[in-house]
Amino acid sequence: VNSSVEFFYSEVYLEESGTTVHTTFNGSVTIVPASVMQPLNPTLGVTSFKLDWGPDPEDLNESPPIACYSVEYKEEGGTWSSNWGGEDHSCVNYTYCNFTGIAGHTYYFHCQARDTEGNLGTWSDTIQTKITKFVAGALPDPIVPNDLIITVLATEAQSSIPAVKVTQSGAPYETVPMTLIQDKTYSGTYHLLAGYDGQATLNINDGEEIFYFDVSTVGKLAAILKNFDERVKMEFAPDTFNKDTLITIIPSEFFNQTTLSKNKSLIMPTQLLPVGKAYYLGSPNIRPNQPISLTLNYQEEEIEGIPESKLSIYVWNGANSCWDYQEGRVDSGNNSITTKISHFQAYMILADTISPLINNVSPVNLEEVSNSQPTISATLIDSGSGIDPSTTSMSLDDNKVEPDFDPSSGVLSYTPSTPLSAGLHTLSIEVSDKVGNKTKLVGSHFDSPSSLVINEVHNYPNPATTFTTFVYIPSAGTISSVKIEVYNLAGKHILTLPGENGGKYEWDWEKDSNLRLANGVYIYRIVASDSSGNTVRKTGKLAVLR
């Protein structure tokens, strides 16, 4: 038998009888080769790394030499495989090789030795590592001209600061000193170089280039700039700048991330839908002499289910941490939007598909006002494209009125120039946002005061068992007709009582109305009118407790 050790006898001591038994037998045990994988760091900051394996140094058994190794890997939740990098590692006679994985993925490795006599060892202990995924971005420094704030986010904590390098077109790579500013977030400053127009790239730990941006020089002459993926075009008229100026186009995916306090990161709006990326254009400290034409392009798959009429270009408002609507023109034939910009910031295409809100309507529905010339108002809210002031309208009793609108507060208000007639009035409000989403409030009612005044209504006993007395004595005017409407708390009408003009009405619901009211709270409304047709409505609550 290959790789065997013979045993000639064994000795067994029997404790109960106190005797020793000698047993002799012929046999053999196969000694298999043992192997081991060298441990990896739990996390790695590069996608390509070295794997090492070999004989287990703690294995003291004498066995034939190892002929080859089988080395396998798998991803989290996957199956073992010996194939990677275009090579089969099921029987290799070397003890190291390089492995290239994908950032953000976790990998497991083990190995198995085979000796020269064909004996296979057991699989080694499994080692594992997770390749860190880096996300990089750049922000124009709002204070220092031609400086970019480079920010790198790592998915895993790093044992050392990532090595970040940037190169502009035709320039050598330049190392950017980075500092850990918070957990797994690093930042540094890169100074733009004049004379190297074109695409700039950034890499981390000498790995693949993971971030691209564009740098161009614009002088006093007219110019057209496009970025590397042709999603951005800027057109500069002559004399936009007084001297040669470096203009950057930097894509940004840093939404809802904290970077540096002097340049807040972008916050993704809740009411607006992003279409593509945001782009930082130039630097906030650059002041053009005249507006610049900006065109952003979108792709069909990015607007699936979204009407193109709802698309607009928005500019980042760092002071208020929001996106501001830009007036522009949609070219559906070329899948683009063009607008005019007067300052450099972050711009992107957003879709607004949500209608404005009409809040804080006054008078509230069914309110009885004490002034015959009440101020009628509402707050119009739209956190997307914003309220279009030209679309605000108000109608009172189906007649259009001329309200005032304050864009800063969103308040729409109107005060009648003459007293309103006594009785019920109907209010309607309509408004649209800047991309045509419309909201309409219809049928809000309020009562204008009349010569008939009832300041208070009540009933007794309350709670009641089977009967109660409603009291609604007028403090001004005379009641010529009255009715009492009774509802449950869900608003369901139960019945209407005739009432009595004298200001009191006794009601025994079991005898008078053949009703058996369940325990609970009920709403009643007194609707009283005088001989001139002026009507007053007052509500109260009736509790039934048997």
Q: How far is residue 70's CA from residue 231's CA, in Å, rounded to a whole number?
A: 49
> Which CATH code for domain 134-352?
2.60.220.30
For 320, residues 6+ apart whose C-beta sits below 8 A from its C-beta are none
Q: What is the pLDDT of residues 373-413, one digit of tens each?
A: 899 999 999 999 999 999 999 999 999 999 999 999 999 99
Partnered with residue 260 across adjacent β-strands are: 263
pLDDT for the residue numbered 22: 43
Partnered with residue 316 across adjacent β-strands are: 323
Nearest of 446, 423, 484 to residue 365 by alpha carbon: 446
Question: For residue 370, is pLDDT > 90?
Answer: no
Q: In the chain, which segments carry CATH 2.60.220.30?
A: 134-352
Q: Would you tell me how many other CB atoms lie within 10 Å of the CB of residue 330?
A: 19
DSSP codes of every residue in 436-458: --EEEEEEEEEEEP-S-B----E
CATH architecture of the domain 458-544 equals Sandwich (2.60)
Q: What is the pLDDT of residues 168-224, one digit of tens each?
A: 999 999 999 999 998 889 999 999 999 999 999 999 998 877 889 999 999 999 999
pLDDT for the residue numbered 394: 96
pLDDT for the residue numbered 4: 42
CATH of 357-448, picked from 3.40.50.620, 2.60.40.1220, 3.40.50.300, 3.40.50.1110, is 2.60.40.1220
pLDDT for the residue numbered 449: 65
Q: What is the pLDDT of residues 236-270, one digit of tens each?
A: 999 999 999 999 999 986 544 444 333 456 777 77
Please state, for a pLDDT cut of 70, what percent of the chain lies above it. Answer: 91
Question: For residue 19, is pLDDT > 50?
Answer: no
Question: For residue 545, is pLDDT > 60?
Answer: yes
pLDDT for the residue numbered 464: 95
Tokens of 292: 């610049």
How much is the mean pLDDT over the chain? 88
Please state, for a pLDDT cut of 90, what percent of the chain lies above it. Answer: 66
Question: For residue 71, is pLDDT > 50?
Answer: yes
56-60, 343-347, 434-438, 483-487: the lowest-pLDDT one: 56-60
Q: In the chain, which segments carry CATH 2.60.40.10?
A: 35-131
Q: In the chain, which segments carry CATH 2.60.40.1220?
A: 357-448, 458-544
Question: For residue 450, is pLDDT > 70?
Answer: no
Domain 35-131 superfamily per CATH:
Immunoglobulins (2.60.40.10)
pTM over 0.75: no
Q: How far is residue 28's CA from residue 160's CA, in Å, rounded to a whole number?
A: 53
Confidence of residue 29 (pLDDT cuts 50, 70, 90): low
Question: For residue 132, is pLDDT > 50?
Answer: yes
Helix, strand, coil percentages in the chain from 3-state DSSP, rounded to 5: 0, 50, 45
Cα dihedral value 296, 302, 305, 307, nearest 10: 0
Pick the residue with more confidence: 269 or 445? Answer: 445
Pick the residue with more confidence: 400 or 531? Answer: 400
Tokens of 63: 């066995």
Q: What is the chain's alpha carbon radius of gyration, rounded to the nearest angstrom?
A: 41
Helix (H) or strand (E) holding 130, with range, is strand 127-131
Q: What is the mean pLDDT of residues 343-372?
A: 90
Question: For residue 45, is pLDDT > 80?
Answer: yes
